[in-house]
Amino acid sequence: MSVELDPRGQGPDAPWHLIGGRKPVFEEVTLTDLEVKGEIPRELNGRYIRNTANPQTGYTEHWFIGDGMLHGIELRDGEARWYRNRWVRTPMFAHPGVDRLTLALDAEKFTFDYAVSAANTHVIGHGGRILALEEGSFPYEVTKELDTVGPHTFDGALTGPFTAHPKFCPDTGEMLGFGYAPVPPYLTYFRVDAQGNLVQKTEVTVTGPTMMHDFAATRNHAIFMDLPAVFDVELAMKGGMPIRWSDDYPARFGIMPREGGDADVRWFDVQPCYCFHTLNAFEDGNDVVVYGMRVPEIWRDSANMDMSVTPPPEDLPRLHEWRFDMTSGAVKERYLDDEPSEFPRVPASVQGHRMRYGYALGGDPNAEAALGGQINKYDLDSGASKQVHRFPTGHEPGESVFIPREGGRSEDDGYLMTYVWNPETDTSYLVILDAANVADAPLAEVHIPRRVVSGFHSSWIPDPA
């Protein structure tokens, strides 16, 4: 299929989200002769996959809208077997450049086709399936070679959107998720068992049609963020990102027993803010504690995300703690870091539990960009002090993923992986770091003779997939 490039995405006036490491690629390739520097740990057998927004036409009005493209490397027995990149085949892919509402909305019945998706935000493995996720639609199943199988609805049990940020319980093997929508029900909670069956579907009452990009979960609770970024019909009809900031919409967190219902939710008012991503949540005596990357507000005047102009430090996402006293109802909040960070992750073994370490994309104070250039390792037992791995000047890492070492003896005994873009060569490499010694030189780099688009979220999906 041949697609004509949109000139608005080309040349010196292209928007920030379509230049540099975010510039789209237009070919799907399979590469098997990959240069390796250092030694890949032989125990790493599986695939590291990143999902990215990569518009076929070369242009979108917003970073979050482009067609989903998966970039994967398979590692086996100390070797890098292949690199592949594949678009996720969705109705949006089949109709490049066509407005999403045109494809998804039945104007007469006012119903949505949730198979219409960009499938561009996250990729996860669960219940023997690999799923490409985007919060406005059904998941899309793909093979371990990144070819599209099709929309996944848990045997028809899913009838609306499913989050791009599910949480995985290390104790039960369950996947916890939710879906939000611009029309009622505005929020639905899901619980999926270890085998991939949707076993709970619960509507949760929120103030209105809020954008809920992420949530949190402890061993015994699901935690919803009902925050003042709300759906706007007028913006939706104009195309682009249909979300605006509202000073009239309350900011609150809802805490519900994991197997509970709407009537069981306890709501706690918080200072107005937005949180795209949580790091983790856990129970500490009578308290439920949530760590996340807080910003005071988003998209008051525009949903533009031009990061070529660095915002003031107080407007950037920073690691924050919310502490909710389940006995008294009191709320305590505090920032844990003065410097910006985003795309936080924890080891899967401590999801929903008290943990010591967290990892995030940090901001190199010597770089021009507000975020990027380094990986932060936070020690939450030491006041969120951090170790830093700084990349060469100009190199852009993405979200890092923790993989435990076989027989590991501590929470941080394992590896961190991320793709890194090199602007000097316009190529990328997979870096493997020792998570216990983040500041050290990489254990290995797998070099790819092309650009892996700087994008959103990644997963390590071990064998068997």
Asked if residue 336 belongs to a domain, the reply is yes
Predicted TM-score of the model (pTM)? 0.95
Asked if residue 329 belongs to a domain, the reply is yes
Mean pLDDT for each consecutive 10-residue tract of the chain (465 residues)? 83 88 96 97 98 95 92 98 98 92 82 94 97 97 98 97 98 97 94 98 97 97 97 73 90 98 98 97 98 93 65 85 98 95 96 98 68 92 95 94 95 98 97 98 98 95 84
Asked if residue 2 belongs to a domain, the reply is no
Asked if residue 410 belongs to a domain, the reply is yes
pLDDT for residue 12: 83
Question: What's the angle, vertex CA 127, arms to CA 122 and CA 130, rounded to 5?
Answer: 35
pLDDT for residue 206: 97
Number of domains in the chain: 1
Asked if residue 296 belongs to a domain, the reply is yes
Q: Provide the domain limits for residue 299.
A: 7-462
CATH number at residue 224: 2.130.10
Asked if residue 1 belongs to a domain, the reply is no
Asked if residue 335 belongs to a domain, the reply is yes
pLDDT for residue 412: 97
pLDDT for residue 232: 83
